[in-house]
Amino acid sequence: MTTHKVGYLVGSLSAKSINRTLATALTRLAPSTLEFQEIPIRDLPLYNHDFDADYPPEGRALKDAIASVDAILFVTPEYNRSIPGALKNAIDWASRPWGTNSFTHKPSAVIGTSPGKIGTAVAQQSLRSVLSFCNSPQMNAPEAYIQFTPGLFGDDGEVTDSTTEKFLSDFMTDFADFIGRVLAALPQER
3-state SS string over 50-114?
A: HHCCCCCHHHHHHHHHHHCCCEEEEECCCECCECCHHHHHHHHHHCCCCCCCCCCCCCEEEEEEE
The rounded distance, in Å, linking the Cα atoms of 58 and 38 is: 15
pLDDT at position 190 is: 55
CB 67 within 8 A of CB 113: no
Residue 27 lies in a domain: yes
Burial grade of 38 (CB within 10 A; 0-12, 13-18, 19 or more): middle
* Cβ 97 vs Cβ 91: under 8 Å: no
Residues of the chain falling short of pLDDT 70: 189-190
Determine, yes or no, domain membership for 189: no
pLDDT of residue 92: 98
Predicted local confidence at residue 188, as pLDDT: 73
Rounded to two decimals, what is the model's pTM?
A: 0.96
Residue 142: domain span: 4-184
Return the pLDDT at 13.
96
Q: Is residue 139 part of a domain?
A: yes
Position 76 in a domain? yes
Total domain count, the chain: 1
pLDDT in the model for residue 189:
65
Instruction: Note whether residue 58 is domain-resident.
Output: yes
* CATH code, domain with 88: 3.40.50.360
- What does the DSSP assignment read for 5-24? EEEEEES---TT-HHHHHHH
| CA 95 from centroid of its chain's CA atoms | 15
Residue 190 lies in a domain: no
Provide the pLDDT for residue 57.
Answer: 97
